[in-house]
Amino acid sequence: MEEMKQAVLPKREEVPSHLKWKLEDIFPDDQSWEEAFKKVGELANSIKGFSGRLHESPEILADCLKLYEELQLTNEGVYVYARMRRDENNNNPVYQGLTDRASSQNIQAMSATSFLTPEILSLPDETLDSYLKNPALLPYEFFLSEIRRQKEHVLSAAEEKIIAQAGELAQAPMTIFGMLNNADISFPFIKDEKGNEVQLTHGRYIQFMESQERRVRKEAFDTMYSTYQKQRNTLASILNSSVKKDVFYSRVRHYPSALASSLDDNNIPVDVYTNLIQAVRDQLPSMHRYVSLRKKLLGVDELHMYDLYTPMVQDINFKVDYEEAKEVVRKGLEVLGEDYQQVLERSYEEGWIDVVENEGKTNGAYSWGSYGTHPYVLLNYQNNVNNLFTLAHEMGHAMHSYYSDLNQPYLYAQYKIFVAEVASTVNESLVMDYMLKTTTDPKKRMYLVNYYLEQFRGTIYRQTMFAEFEKIIHEKVEKGEPLTADILCEIYKDLNVDYYGPDMVIDDDIKMEWARIPHFYTSFYVYQYATGFSAATALSQQMLNEGKPAVERYLNFLKSGGSDYPISLLQNAGVNMMTPEPVTAALQVFAKLLDEMETLS
C-alpha cells in the first residue's frame, strides 16, 4: 500500500474496496436497516406489556427476559451499523441522520425496559430464589444475581424511566465533542521534512511527532495545540458538562462518588484505582530516568514535550506497510494456536478491517461490531511501527469479541471494560516478543526496545496520569468547585511536571492536551489501559514460558466474555489484580528495558 503523500485526504469513494470494511455483513443495504429499525420499535412496545407482571410466575419473567434479549440484540445491530457508517465519513448527512435516529430510538428502548430492573428487585428474595429453581430461568442466573448485587443503587420504576428518558441529554457532551473534534476542527498545513505543504490531521500527528527532524515535530506540536487553544473555553465547557453528568448520576444512584459509581459496574473496588495511581507514583523515578536517557540519546540541551515520540535511535528507516504489518502480526501470534490463526486470516480477507484515512473519517482506531456478525476494526493506517502495533492491538479486541460471541449467549457475550484492554495488549506483547527475537539489525533492535519502553510510558504512566486527572476534576465538581479552561490547564500541566520530572521542559502548549482526549467523555475508562497492560504483561509471559497450559487458560478467558466478574476471570487466567503486584512487576520490566537500552547505547 502506497503511503498517502497528497496534501488533501482522499474522499471515501476514492479508497480502494479491499481497504474498506464490509458493513453489508450487518445489513446488506439501508432498507434492511430500516426494517430492523422498525422492528426495534415494535419489540419495545411489546416488552412494555410485561410491566407490572413479573410477580405472576417464573415463566412470565423468563418470557420477558427472552424478549429483552431480542430487543437489545436487534437494537445493537441498528445502532452499530448507523454509527459505523457515519464513522466512514462524519460529513455524510445520510448517516448523520441514521445515527441520530438510532440514538433516539436507543433511548426509547432503554425507557421501554426501564421497569425491568426495579420490578425484579421488588420481588421478595424468597420469591426470586424460588423462581431460580425453574429451568427456564437457568440461563439468566448470573444476570439476575448482578441485578441483586446493585440493589441499593436502583431506583423506583418511575424514576428509572425518567433517567432512561434523559439518556439523550446525557450523551450530548460526548456527541458535541465528537463532532467538534472529528468534523469541525480543521488543522492548518505544515511543512514536512522535504518542505512539502501537508495538512496536519489526527492520523498524521503522531507520524510527524516521530519525525527525526525537530522542526517538523515542533511545528506539528505547536500547530495542533494552537488550534485547540482557539476553542479552549468551548472545550472546557463541554468537558465540564460531561463531568457534571457523571456526578449527577452517581448522586442520583446513591454512590459516594462518581469514581465509585463508575467502577461498580465492573464490581471493581475503588482501591484498585487508587492503588494503581500510588503504585505508578512510587515508580516515577524510573520514568524520570527514562526522560534522562532520552535527553542523552537525542543529544539535546533541552528535552521538550515534542521530543517524546521520536525514536531515540537515529538514522533508521523503519517503515512498515500494511501488508507487511499483517504478516508480522500473524507470525507474532502463532503461539496462540491454529484456530486463532485461521480466524485472524479470515479477518484479513473478509472485510473486517477499514484500513486507511479518508476525508471525514473518524480518527484513531477501534474494534466494534454487533453480536451475530463478526467484529470490525477501524484503522487510519500510516506506514510505521506504531500502526503495526495498532493493528495487533485492535485485532486483540476483535478476537476477544469473536471468541466471546461464539461461546456465550448474548447477555454474557459482552466482556466488561476492566478486561477489555487485556487481549489487545497481550497481542502487542506477543508481537513485540516475536520482533525482538527475529530482529538482527542492532539499530532496529534498539528502535524496538525504545518502542516497547514507549508502550510502558504511554500505557501505564501516561494513562495513569490521565486517570489521576479524571479523579481530580471529578472531585473538584463534587466539592462544588468550577472547571474553567484555566483550571483544567493548570491541573494538567502540574501533572505533567510530576510525571516527567526535572529533565523535561514542560512546554506551555501541553496544558491543552486534555482537550483532545476522547476517552475523558467515558468516565474513568483510561485507568483500565494501565491495569490491562499490567495483566497482559503477566499473561503473555506465562504463555511464552509455560506454553500450552497457559495458552488454554488464556483462550478460556477470551471465551468467557462477561459470564463472571472481571477480577475472577483474570484470576482464572492466572493474574490477581486485587493487589498492586502486577503493576509493580510490569514497571520492573520497564526498568529492565531501560537497563538494556543503556547497554545498547
User: DSSP label at 4?
Assistant: P
**Which has the closest alpha carbon to 262: 279, 250, 280, 278?**
250
CA dihedral (295, 299, 301, 302) in degrees, to 10, reads -40
The whole-angstrom separation of Cα 412 and Cα 435 is 35
The whole-angstrom separation of Cα 501 and Cα 15 is 44
Note the helical H segments in 378-461.
385-407, 410-413, 417-438, 442-456
CB 30 within 8 A of CB 109: no
The whole-angstrom separation of Cα 559 and Cα 313 is 40
As to burial, measured by CB atoms within 10 angstroms (0-12 exposed, 13-18 middle, 19+ buried), residue 165 is middle
Which of 394, 428, 454, 468 is catalytic? The answer is: 394
Give Cα separations from 168 to 44, 110, 397, 440, 519 (angstroms): 17, 11, 27, 54, 19
As to burial, measured by CB atoms within 10 angstroms (0-12 exposed, 13-18 middle, 19+ buried), residue 133 is exposed
CB 402 within 8 A of CB 509: no
CA dihedral (274, 278, 279, 285) in degrees, to 10, reads 150
**Which has the closest alpha carbon to 593: 311, 290, 281, 312?**
290
70 is a catalytic site residue: no
The whole-angstrom separation of Cα 27 and Cα 78 is 9
The whole-angstrom separation of Cα 385 and Cα 458 is 15
Cell of 308: 517524546
**Which has the closest alpha carbon to 214: 468, 539, 593, 505?**
505
Largest CA distance in the chain: 77
* DSSP state string for 341-362: HHHHHHHHHTT-EE-S--TTPP
- Core vs surface per residue 276-305: b (16+ CB within 10 A) or e: bbebbeebeebbbbbbbbbbebeeeeebbb
The whole-angstrom separation of Cα 405 and Cα 547 is 25
What's the chain's length in residues?
A: 601
The whole-angstrom separation of Cα 569 and Cα 181 is 36
Q: What are residue 189's DSSP bridge partners?
A: 199
| Catalytically annotated residues | 394
